[in-house]
Amino acid sequence: MPLSTVPAVFGAACAEQAGRHAAAARFRRVLLVSDPGVVAAGHAGRVAEALRAEGLHVAIFDRVRENPTTAHVADGLAAAQAERCDALVAVGGGSAMDCAKGVNLLLANGGQISDYRGDPSADTLQHRKPLLPLICVPTTAGTGSEAQSFALISDAVTSVKMACGDRRPPGVGLRPVLAVLDPDLTRSVPPAVRSAAGIDAVAHAVETSASRARCAESRRLSRAAWERLEPALPRVMRDAGDDDARADMLLGAHLAGAAIERSMLGAAHACANPLTAHFGVTHGVAVGILLPHVVRFNAAGPPADECDAAHPYADLDADADRLAHRLEALLDAARLPRRLRDAGVPAEALPRLAAEAAAQWTAGFNPRSAGPAELLTVLQKAW
């Protein structure tokens, strides 16, 4: 697929090809990582059947929950070891894909998830064993994890999210050897999941377009993702049976995930993680509420680099305030709240949330300096 950071197949019913691709990649004993909802919808079984039809041994691990933790990874690791797996297939949203990646890290090199936090240097990576090959089959249009060499895993005790990376090539590092993008699998997604995941994908397109780490390739990816996601999200929220809209959402989310791989995110995601940890605000909802305010905050600062025509988001809209209004319209279309107060966040918590947000890894990629004082202002405007 053009622009993608991983090999990918895209199209209706292409999940049925997963077995053929896994066999070609010499998978033999597979741990299929999923969650109860995806299993109940029949998607995990459909992929497992395709794998077994090629003579592969398949064990299903379906104890993943939203925002996977170190405990989920430990359970998945035990299952993979018991089944003597030599490959992984993730079927589900970002939680299933990230959990599978966490299992992969520990299965290959041992230790604890905290040992893999961050973006390791090439020198560090050369001392690690190759990871197992992974195929990702997303069932939501959201995280784009199937295009990335990172996994987000929360500490089961502290709820702190850890971004764990391994940028070695697919089949050696965390990037999947294949992404199977089948829009049919997103038809059964519950409306609340569809809206939160969709806004998260939109936020990926927007924040990567302005990241300090952006490059020419990531800017093309961000724009291509935005051009698909903005018109498709209202359509798919009105009618989950709109095949074209679901296809655009899935492809847009994938391209936005690939943009993350090339450029990283920003302050909206930095603010979202503490909101999820302390108040249980769904990640996509938290990011969506913050995003228009972060856009206005960043646009009021100096240009991020010499490429900026007027403000950091000029690739998407020449007028930053108009872009913020377009994002608010998408929140309305997704039937999501615009204010933190409406998501159950108390005003007195904002200073603590701002301090924790400023310490997040993604804050360092924001185009404008985003310390505790600046992020407190953003949070107050969003409250």
Where is the domain boundary, 186, 217, 243? Answer: 186
Residues 200, 325 share a domain = yes
Separation between Cα atoms, residue 127 and residue 129, nearest integer Å: 7
How does residue 366 score in pLDDT terms, banded at 50, 70 and 90?
Answer: very high
User: How confident is the model at residue 306, as a pLDDT?
Assistant: 53
The CATH number linked to 61 is 3.40.50.1970
Residues 200 and 126 in one domain: no
**Could you tell me the pLDDT band of residue 122, with boundaries at 50, 70 and 90?**
confident
Of 146, 230, 128, 220, which Cα lies nearest the Cα of 182? Answer: 146
Confidence (pLDDT) at 311: 81
> How would you list the strands of the sheet with 29-33, edge to edge?
8-10, 178-181, 134-138, 87-92, 29-33, 57-61
Report which of residues 320 and 85 the model is more confident about. 85
| 182 and 195 together in one domain | no
- E runs forming strands in the chain: 8-10, 29-33, 57-61, 87-92, 134-138, 150-154, 161-165, 178-181
> How far apart, in whole angstroms, are the C-alpha atoms of residue 237 and residue 251?
16
pLDDT one-digit tens code per residue, 203-224:
999 999 999 999 999 999 999 9
Say how far apart CA 256 and CA 382 lie, in whole Å. 24
Overall domain count for the chain: 2
Strands (E), 6-155: 8-10, 29-33, 57-61, 87-92, 134-138, 150-154
Q: Identify whether the C-beta of residue 94 lies closer than 8 Å to the C-beta of residue 59.
A: no
Predicted confidence (pLDDT) at residue 2 exceeds the cutoff of 90:
no
Distance (Å, whole) CA 6 – CA 8: 6
pLDDT cut 70: percent of the chain above it: 97
Q: How high is the pLDDT of residue 98?
A: 97
Tens of pLDDT, residues 102-119: 999 999 999 999 999 988
Q: What pTM did the predictor assign? A: 0.94
As a whole-number percent, the residues of the chain with pLDDT over 90 amount to 89
**Whether residue 279 sits in one domain with residue 363:** yes
Is 3 a member of any domain? Answer: no
Q: Are 160 and 52 in the same domain?
A: yes
Low-confidence winner among 154-168, 241-255, 277-291 (lowest mean pLDDT): 154-168
Sequence-distant (6+) residues with CB within 8 A of 227 are 252
Domain-located, residue 315? yes
| pLDDT above 80: residue 362 | yes
pLDDT at 95: 95
Question: pLDDT tens digits for 287-334?
Answer: 999 999 999 999 997 655 555 556 889 889 888 899 999 999 999 999
For position 350, what pLDDT does the model report? 98
Cβ pair 64, 33 in contact under 8 A:
yes
Q: Residue 293: which of 264, 312, 260, 267 has the closest Cα?
A: 267
195 lies in which domain range? 191-382
Q: Which of 151, 186, 221 is the last residue of a domain?
A: 186
Are both 43 and 69 inside the same structural domain?
yes
pLDDT at 318: 81
